[in-house]
A and B are shown apart, each in its own frame.
Chain A
Amino acid sequence: MNESLLRELVPAVISVLVRRGANFASAEDAVQEALIRAFEAWQADPPREPKAWLVAVAWRKFLDAARADASRRGRELAMDAEPPAGPVSGADDTLRLYFLCAHPTLPPASAVALTLRAVGGLTTRQIANAYLVPEATMAQRISRAKRRIAGLPLDQPGDLSTVLRVLYLVFNEGYSGDVDLAAEAIRITRQLVGLTDEPEVAGLLALMLLHHARRASRTGEDGRLIPLGEQDRSRWDTGLITEGVAILQAALARDRLGEYQAQAAIAALHADARTAAETDWVQIVEWYDELLALTGSPVVRLNRVVAVCEADGPRAGLAALADVSPDLPRYLAVSAYLHERSGDSKRAAELYAAASRAATSVPEQIHLIRQAARIRAGGPRKA
């Protein structure tokens, strides 16, 4: 049984249960139980109609739970055992699940967990494993999130920007535990593209594909980080790049620019360059200007500094750096790079060493201390 095919059915099955009168929280629990049953039972004997199987098992689980709950409260269960035949509007229902799971009232970590479970069809154990927390903790996080959104109507249009932010968070988590979260994020976003008519959704998908295309070349032996300029471009996935660029072009043609399209445009310009030296940095700076106008984000301002350095030289880069807040996590690393490019090796090595102490991940910490070591050993920057 193909696990991801099975997962794709999850939002639709939840929607069927909700249409039949189950509330979202109970429906989602029942489908999760049915999913776990399916993983066990289908290995040996996959059913001919997977969706019908899931609906039947989940509905039974839901009724069992509802009956147990009703008898605990000493009440009659006011729910027909035989489901009414509701109107079929699968796509809209699935889209509403995205909105609900990424509801703005939820903290990001909860929205991520709930989206992965109800939209992505991952099990609590897989999500816990990917985020390195105990399964019981993740189960609590998900049920608290569901309590928080209980009572919210399922038929309201939601906020697409929080949905996109949640999917981007999942994508950036990468590969952790036994689940490839980046691939899951792409799958869920691809599904969302089919449900909406919004260029930013396509922009996010393009961005993910273009970044994913570089994954194999991003880390070297021993898990060492390889910066964009030093990556072996022959290892970039040209299929993903072609797809990402086509999706981006179609989105940009709609003339409703947003931050994900602008980021994808930058990624596409990198993908276009056969060597790092051929990169069109002038155009990249222009896209950063667009991105900055759209977001006003300090992180964008910092990344723009690097592009300015490449386009107009280190002096211009250092001038642009003066407008950036030094409190940003990667400020020291960017400053170190600019000082090295401007020929001030001694200061660059000091800054790289300081940057490594401010690093927020182990690979980054090692990468930055290695940059300091390389300069002190008199090594050239690989281009």
Chain B
Amino acid sequence: MKYLLLKHYRGAPTPVNDVPMDQWTPEELDAHVRYMRDFAARLEETGEFVDSQALAPGGAFVRSAGAGQPPITDGPFAETKDLIAGWMIIDVESWERAVELAGELSAAPGAGGKPIHEWLEVRPFLTESASVTE
């Protein structure tokens, strides 16, 4: 079963250790980056890693303005908008395992070397094929 672990720049409940990254020390940043890398490497070893991508904070809402018209854009995003920072996709045996891993990822170290305990959104994928019941 595939799950999406979604990380937010904004819009998730406030993390326990809520200090913006540019206020950390360089060593704290290094420790954080190392933790994230090790986490992904470990999931590759267990055969549970699928993909991980980061998003830039920029962008805009876009919608069609009708045939023959250029699309309408609405952006940059307002400060209040829920803003996704990136994701990891994992392929695991159960919801419990997905939650366990999201918990580990959320415990990445932040300011003061203490776990951030940030809120990650965990979402199951809808599968492509309907399951056959006979």
Chain A residues packing against B (C-beta within 8 Å): 222-224, 349, 352-353, 356-360, 362, 365-366, 369-370, 372-374, 376-377, 379
Q: Contact: A373 with B54, CB < 8 Å?
A: no
Give the residues from 9 to 64 in chain B that come closer than 8 angstroms, CB to CB, to chain A: 21-26, 28-30, 33-34, 37, 54, 56-58
Contacts of A352 in B (CB 8 A): 22
Known: A370-B30, A373-B21, A379-B26; 12 extra A-B contacts, CB below 8 A, are A222-B30, A223-B37, A353-B22, A357-B56, A357-B57, A362-B54, A369-B21, A372-B22, A373-B23, A373-B28, A373-B29, A374-B26
Instruction: Give the complex CA separation of A370 and B21 in angstroms.
Output: 9
Instruction: Give the complex CA separation of A226 and B57 in angstroms.
Output: 24
Contacts of A358 in B (CB 8 A): 56, 58
Report which of B26, B30, B54, B58 forms a contact with A377, defined as CB distance below 8 A: B26
Contacts of A357 in B (CB 8 A): 56-57
Majority-rule SS of A interface residues? helix
29 A-B interface contacts by CB (under 8 A)? A222-B33, A222-B34, A224-B33, A352-B22, A353-B22, A356-B22, A357-B57, A358-B56, A358-B58, A360-B56, A365-B54, A366-B29, A366-B33, A369-B22, A369-B29, A370-B26, A370-B29, A370-B30, A372-B22, A373-B21, A373-B24, A373-B25, A373-B26, A373-B29, A374-B26, A376-B22, A376-B23, A377-B26, A379-B26
Cβ distance A251 to chain B, nearest Cβ, rounded Å: 38
Which 8 A-B residue pairings sit nearest by Cβ, starting from the closest? A353-B22, A372-B22, A377-B25, A374-B26, A373-B26, A370-B29, A222-B33, A362-B54
Chain B residues packing against A (C-beta within 8 Å): 21-26, 28-30, 33-34, 37, 54, 56-58
Instruction: Give the complex CA separation of A369 and B37 in angstroms.
Output: 17
Instruction: Give the complex CA separation of A359 and B55 in angstroms.
Output: 10
Q: Contact: A359 with B21, CB < 8 Å?
A: no
Contacts of B22 in A (CB 8 A): 349, 352-353, 356, 369, 372-373, 376
Contacts of A356 in B (CB 8 A): 22
Instruction: Give the complex CA separation of A372 and B56 in angstroms.
Output: 18
Instruction: Give the complex CA separation of A108 and B53 in angstroms.
Output: 24
Cβ distance B31 to chain A, nearest Cβ, rounded Å: 10
Contacts of A353 in B (CB 8 A): 22
Contacts of A370 in B (CB 8 A): 26, 29-30
Contacts of A224 in B (CB 8 A): 30, 33
Cβ distance A365 to chain B, nearest Cβ, rounded Å: 8
Instruction: Give the complex CA separation of A360 and B58 in angstroms.
Output: 10
Cβ distance B33 to chain A, nearest Cβ, rounded Å: 5
Instruction: Give the complex CA separation of A372 and B22 in angstroms.
Output: 6
Contacts of B23 in A (CB 8 A): 373, 376
Q: Contact: B34 with A359, CB < 8 Å?
A: no
Instruction: Give the complex CA separation of A82 and B23 in angstroms.
Output: 73
Cβ distance B7 to chain A, nearest Cβ, rounded Å: 13
Cβ distance A134 to chain B, nearest Cβ, rounded Å: 12
Cβ distance B120 to chain A, nearest Cβ, rounded Å: 18
Instruction: Give the complex CA separation of A224 and B34 in angstroms.
Output: 10
Contacts of A372 in B (CB 8 A): 22
Of listed A362, A369, A370, A377, residue having the most chain B CB within 10 A: A370
Nearest residue, chain A, Cβ from B9: A357
Instruction: Give the complex CA separation of A376 and B26 in angstroms.
Output: 9
Instruction: Give the complex CA separation of A374 and B56 in angstroms.
Output: 22
Cβ distance B88 to chain A, nearest Cβ, rounded Å: 13
Contacts of A222 in B (CB 8 A): 30, 33-34, 37
Nearest residue, chain A, Cβ from B25: A377
Q: Contact: A359 with B29, CB < 8 Å?
A: no
Contacts of B54 in A (CB 8 A): 362, 365
Cβ distance B77 to chain A, nearest Cβ, rounded Å: 12
Contacts of B58 in A (CB 8 A): 358
Instruction: Give the complex CA separation of A365 and B58 in angstroms.
Output: 13
Of listed B21, B22, B30, B54, residue having the most chain A CB within 10 A: B22
Cβ distance B52 to chain A, nearest Cβ, rounded Å: 10
Instruction: Give the complex CA separation of A360 and B37 in angstroms.
Output: 19
Instruction: Give the complex CA separation of A362 and B37 in angstroms.
Output: 12
Instruction: Give the complex CA separation of A129 and B95 in angstroms.
Output: 30
Contacts of B56 in A (CB 8 A): 357-360
Cβ distance A72 to chain B, nearest Cβ, rounded Å: 32
Instruction: Give the complex CA separation of A191 and B33 in angstroms.
Output: 40
Nearest residue, chain B, Cβ from A350: B22
Instruction: Give the complex CA separation of A374 and B57 in angstroms.
Output: 23
Instruction: Give the complex CA separation of A223 and B37 in angstroms.
Output: 10
Contacts of A376 in B (CB 8 A): 22-23
